Amino acid sequence: MKSERTAVYAGTFDPITNGHLDVVARAGKMFHTVVVAIAASTTKNTLFSVEERVNLAREAISALEGNFRVESFDGLLVEYVRNIKGNVIIRGLRAVSDYEYEAQMALFNRQLAEDIETVFLMTADKYSFITSSIIKQVAMYHGDISRFVPTNVLKKLNDIYPQK
Ligand code: COA
Q: Give the closest residue to 11 by CA, choosing from 85, 112, 121, 155.
A: 121
For residue 154, the one-letter residue type is L
Ligand 1 contact via 48 beta carbon (within 6 Å): no
For residues 99-115, give the mean pLDDT.
96
Ligand 1 contact via 156 beta carbon (within 6 Å): no
pTM recorded for the entire structure: 0.94
Query: How far apart (Å, rounded) are the C-alpha atoms in residues 86 and 68?
Result: 13
**If residue 37 lies in a helix (H) or strand (E), which one and from where to where?**
strand 31-39
Quick check: is 44 catalytic?
yes
Query: How far apart (Å, rounded) are the C-alpha atoms in residues 26 and 54?
Result: 20
Quick check: is 58 catalytic?
no
Q: Whose CA is nearest to atom 36 of ligand 1?
A: 11
Whether residue 122 has pLDDT greater than 60: yes
pLDDT, tens only, 14-66 = 999 999 999 999 999 999 999 999 999 888 899 999 999 999 999 999 999 99
For residues 150-162, give the mean pLDDT.
96
Torsion over CA of 48, 52, 54 and 56, rounded to 10 degrees?
Answer: -100
In order of 70, 81, 86, 109, 160, the CA distances from 117 in angstroms are 20, 11, 10, 9, 38
Query: How far apart (Å, rounded) are the C-alpha atoms in residues 9 and 80?
Result: 12
Closest atom of ligand 1 to 123 CA is: 7
- What pLDDT score was predicted for residue 4? 87
Distance 164 CA to ligand 1 centre (A): 32
